[in-house]
């Protein structure tokens, strides 16, 4: 076997989280070797339990901002390490900022030292409360730099700046994904994201909470589509000139989403309205022309199918099973 035929060695930072664990599944299914680096700040061991006896999978419990990272041959680095939902990233805003700035810097330097290709998981939050709709990658955004979301929004913007500085200085092979709202199995029931909130409330027959009047819109991408997009972005031979939006352009109001979930689940739950949090974006829809033309990518899973799959996962006890956090393999 020549070197380029060897299985790829891939570092996934944040691989124990919602998106990262699905990405680890996809990489291992493709025969690659995966080193997952995660601090378990918001991730869970049970997301990776199925891989604990796979010799191609290793788990290192480490904080990308403050702990040493392993020096070894790497072909690809995916950086997904960051809390992603407002209650999680606002709980310790300084830590969120440090993860995105120091942590991303540490991973970029590691990738540059080993000549690895780098995919950064950025976010639609870099567009803030956008004045341009739908959002294209050349839009610079409308972000409150001192608000309660800034630790995440500005952290991710700073991380993008670092990425492109490393690309220019070290010819790093860089790809930046601006990810829009994604949902699916392994979302945490307690993370305050709209889809998991509404699904769990509907399942339990509780009041379904909508913030504001529910006219604000989002576009929801099912997790398998998103992971396929991240893989395509990593694999495409020609390095894209700039960030690439990954998300589902099918835009829906939050009230319509709540009604769809209520109807699908035939729940008696009432929809109640609570005050809108500060700096909440009013509209969100990706322009995915760039992903279509560069990656030949577009989402395939319709919202109703994805919601049904996610609801089934929550209904099967996806939230917490006793002993499921027992991934006991020592860190390597």
Closest to ligand NAD by CB, 202 vs 223, is 223
Residue 248 contacts ligand NAD per CB under 6 A: no
Cβ distance to ligand NAD smaller for residue 22 or 269 = 22
Residue with tokens 């639609």: 124
**42: nearest Cα among 96, 122, 108:** 96
| CB burial readout 145-168, b (16+ within 10 A) else e | eeeebbbbbbbbbebbebbeebbe
Using CB under 6 A as the binding rule, whether residue 11 contacts ligand NAD is answered as no
Q: Which is nearer to ligand NAD, 106 or 269 (CB)?
A: 106
Residues 153-192 that bind ligand NAD (CB under 6 A): 179, 181-182
231 or 269, CB closer to ligand NAD?
A: 231
Residue 46, C-beta contacts closer than 8 angstroms, at least 6 positions apart? 321, 324, 325, 326, 327
| Structure-token pair, residue 205 | 């027959």
**Cross-strand partners of 38:** 61
Q: Does 16 bind ligand NAD (CB under 6 A)?
A: yes
CA-based nearest residue to 291, from 247, 254, 248, 244: 244
Say whether residue 128 binds ligand NAD (CB under 6 A).
no
Question: How many CA atoms lie within 13 Å of 203's alpha carbon, on the beta-carbon side?
Answer: 19
> How many chain residues touch ligand NAD (CB under 6 A)?
29
From 11, 12, 19, 101, residue interacting with ligand NAD (rule: CB under 6 A): 19
- Of the candidates 152, 164, 211, 222, the residue annotated as catalytic is 152
Tell whether omega for the bond before 134 is within 30 degrees of 0, i.e. cis: yes
Q: Could you confirm whether 152 is annotated as catalytic?
A: yes
Q: For the segment 38-97, give every residue that binds ligand NAD (CB under 6 A).
A: 38-43, 63-65, 80-84
**CB nearer to ligand NAD: pick between 95 and 269:** 95
Q: Which H or E run includes 97?
A: helix 93-98
* CB 88, min distance to ligand NAD, A: 6
Residues with catalytic roles:
152
Residues that bind ligand NAD (CB under 6 A): 13-14, 16-20, 37-43, 63-65, 80-84, 99, 103, 121, 123, 179, 181-182
């Amino acid at each position: 076997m020549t070197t380029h035929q060897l299985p790829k060695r891939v570092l996934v930072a944040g691989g124990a989280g919602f998106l990262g664990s699905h990405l680890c599944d996809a990489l291992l299914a493709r025969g690659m070797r995966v080193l997952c680096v995660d601090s378990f700040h918001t991730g869970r061991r049970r997301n990776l339990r199925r891989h604990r006896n796979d010799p191609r999978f290793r788990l290192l419990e480490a904080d990308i901002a403050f702990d040493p990272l392993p020096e070894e041959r790497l072909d690809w680095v995916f950086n997904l390490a960051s809390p992603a939902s407002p209650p999680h990233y606002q709980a310790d805003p300084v830590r969120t900022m440090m993860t995105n700035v120091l942590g991303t810097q540490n991973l970029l330097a590691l990738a540059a030292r080993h000549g690895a290709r780098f995919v950064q998981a950025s976010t639609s939050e870099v567009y803030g409360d956008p004045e341009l709709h739908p959002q294209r990658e050349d839009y610079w955004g409308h972000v409150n730099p001192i608000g309660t979301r800034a630790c995440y929004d500005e952290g991710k913007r700073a991380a993008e700046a670092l990425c492109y500085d490393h690309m220019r200085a070290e010819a790093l092979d860089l790809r930046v994904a601006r990810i829009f709202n994604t949902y699916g199995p392994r979302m945490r029931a307690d993370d305050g994201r709209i889809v998991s909130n509404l699904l769990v409330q509907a399942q339990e027959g509780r009041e379904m909470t909508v913030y504001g009047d529910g006219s604000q819109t989002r576009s929801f991408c099912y997790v398998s589509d998103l992971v396929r997009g991240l893989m395509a972005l990593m694999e495409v031979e020609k390095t894209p000139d700039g960030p690439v939006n990954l998300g589902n352009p099918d835009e829906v109001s939050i009230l319509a989403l709540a009604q769809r979930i209520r109807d699908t689940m035939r729940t008696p739950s009432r929809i109640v309205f609570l005050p809108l949090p500060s700096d909440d974006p009013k509209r969100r829809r990706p322009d995915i022309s760039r992903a279509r033309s560069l990656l030949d990518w577009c989402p395939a899973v319709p919202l109703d199918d994805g919601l049904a799959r996610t609801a089934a996962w929550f209904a099967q006890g996806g939230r917490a099973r006793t002993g499921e956090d027992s991934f006991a393999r020592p860190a390597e």
